[in-house]
Amino acid sequence: MKRKVNRVGQNTLTVSLPSKWASELKIKPGDELEVIEDSKSLIIQREGSPEKIKKAVINTDDWNKLMLNRFFEELYRQGVEEIVVNHTNETIPDYKHNKEISVSGYVNKVIERFIGLEVVSQTANKIIIQSLIKSEEHEKTDVVLRRIYFLIKDFLAEFLNAMNNDFSSFFEKVYDYHDNIAKFIYYYERLLNISDLSECKKSRLFGLMVIIDKVVDLIRHTAERVNEAKNVNDKIKLYLKEIFDLFLEQFDIVLKKNFSPKELEAIVKKRYELLHQINKEDFTGDGLKIMSECKIILHTINEFCETYVALTVEKYIS
């Protein structure tokens, strides 16, 4: 986008703001904007908008795989543009699998979870990772949220279909499904962090993303129990379908944001009826293991409803 430079007075040069950008950010005459000098560039943002973090330096000595994952996830969410990983030890412990893993090998693998991050330099004791997305469009959060929804929907459909066919083949791809969904959840959180939503709405959406991420974990764990069982009866299959369908209906509450009170009531009622029905069942053996993992998904109704209220609260304020 090109803008013409105009002179105002003897020493002042001005450029106009793009009208669409100003409208989306609700910028009015008289508002103050932050103008940040960045080498040959100027960054213009609303006053108080979060600034991107330029660089973070971490050292993996005395760390483990779990902590390395958590640091990368949080630095990415907060919009860090460059991560420098220093290490003198060539390996870190992976306590889940009771083994040592290569720092450089794992760093190169783990950044595949984060859209835009790439290794730009690597030596024996240092890895430099940078975000190649220089202009992240936070207004696309709704587009990314829809992408998360449809990825989960496809995951659940494949799960149910595989239960009537070759589940072991599907199970081999479960981690791929999980990682792809997580990749978009992390990207959504990164965009959300720099968005112009109110802090209340941001906190609700961040919290909901944590819950959705945990649900995807629960689906993966449920798949593990189903794969171990080999043979699952029709009652368990039906309950899994009802739980999955209800979760997607709950997701719709936040995605569409235009539900009527009667539609919301129907979803809440359906959730309690299903939970009461499941609690009356006397599951044993493999069925008990599967339902113990999956039933927890029904306890997400509060987070979806609270997020819906936070996103639509203006309708009720007079």
For residue 79, give Cα distances in angstroms to 33, 130, 184, 201, 256. 21, 11, 14, 18, 27
Amino acid occupying residue 6: N
* Of 102 and 22, more confident: 102
Residue 38 has pLDDT above 60, yes or no: no
pLDDT digits (tens, 9 = 90+) for 137-192: 666 888 999 999 999 999 999 999 999 998 999 999 999 999 999 999 999 999 99
Write down the residue that tokens 């945990």 correspond to.
214
Write down the residue that tokens 């973090």 correspond to.
53
What's the pLDDT score for residue 4? 75
Residue 275: how many other CB atoms lie within 10 Å = 16
- What does the pLDDT average to over 56-79? 93
For residue 292, give Cα distances in angstroms to 170, 222, 285, 295, 314. 21, 9, 11, 6, 39
Task: With H, G, I as helix, E, B as strand and everything else as coil, classify residue 111.
Answer: helix
Instruction: For residue 259, give every residue at least 6 positions away whose Cβ sits within 8 Å of its Cβ, in sequence order, or none.
Output: 252, 253, 308
Token duo for residue 249? 């209906």
Residue 37 has pLDDT above 60, yes or no: no
Residue 262 has pLDDT above 70, yes or no: yes
What's the pLDDT score for residue 20? 63
- What does the pLDDT average to over 14-39? 66
Task: Residue 69: name the closest of 107, 117, 33, 28 by CA.
Answer: 107
| Confidence label for 21 from pLDDT (cuts 50, 70 and 90) | low
DSSP string over 221-275: HHHHHHHHHS---HHHHHHHHHHHHHHHHHHHHHHH----HHHHHHHHHHHHHHH
- Kindly report the length of the chain: 318
Q: Mean pLDDT score of the chain, rounded to an integer?
A: 87
Write down the residue that tokens 């002179």 correspond to.
7
- What does the pLDDT average to over 46-68? 80
DSSP one-letter code for 317: -
* Of 9 and 258, more confident: 258
What distance in Å separates the CA atoms of residue 303 and residue 83, rounded to the nearest whole number? 33
User: Facing residues of 130 across strands?
Assistant: 82, 118
DSSP string over 30-91: T--EEEEEETTEEEEEETTPPPPP-EEEEE-TT--HHHHHHHHHHHHHTT-SEEEEE-SSSE
What distance in Å separates the CA atoms of residue 72 and residue 107, rounded to the nearest whole number? 9
What distance in Å separates the CA atoms of residue 134 and residue 53, rounded to the nearest whole number? 12
Instruction: For residue 123, give every residue at least 6 positions away whose Cβ sits within 8 Å of its Cβ, in sequence order, or none.
Output: none
What's the pLDDT score for residue 141? 87
What percentage of the chain has pLDDT greater than the value 90?
Answer: 66
**Verdict on whether the full-model pTM lies above 0.75:** yes
| Confidence label for 123 from pLDDT (cuts 50, 70 and 90) | very high
pLDDT digits (tens, 9 = 90+) for 278-294: 999 999 999 999 999 99
* Of 239 and 14, more confident: 239
* Of 27 and 111, more confident: 111
What's the pLDDT score for residue 14? 76
Distance of CA 1 to the CA centre of its chain: 30
Residue 212 has pLDDT above 70, yes or no: yes
Secondary-structure percent of the chain, ordered helix, strand, coil, rounded to 5: 60, 15, 25
Torsion region of 44: left, alpha or beta (phi above 0 gives left; psi -120 to 50 gives alpha): beta
Residue 40 has pLDDT above 60, yes or no: no
DSSP string over 157-208: HHHHHHTTS-HHHHHTTHHHHHHHHHHHHHHHHHHHHTS-S-HHHHHHHHHH
| Confidence label for 16 from pLDDT (cuts 50, 70 and 90) | confident
Dihedral (Cα; 275, 276, 277, 278), 10-degree rounding: 50
| Confidence label for 99 from pLDDT (cuts 50, 70 and 90) | very high
Residue 11 has pLDDT above 70, yes or no: no
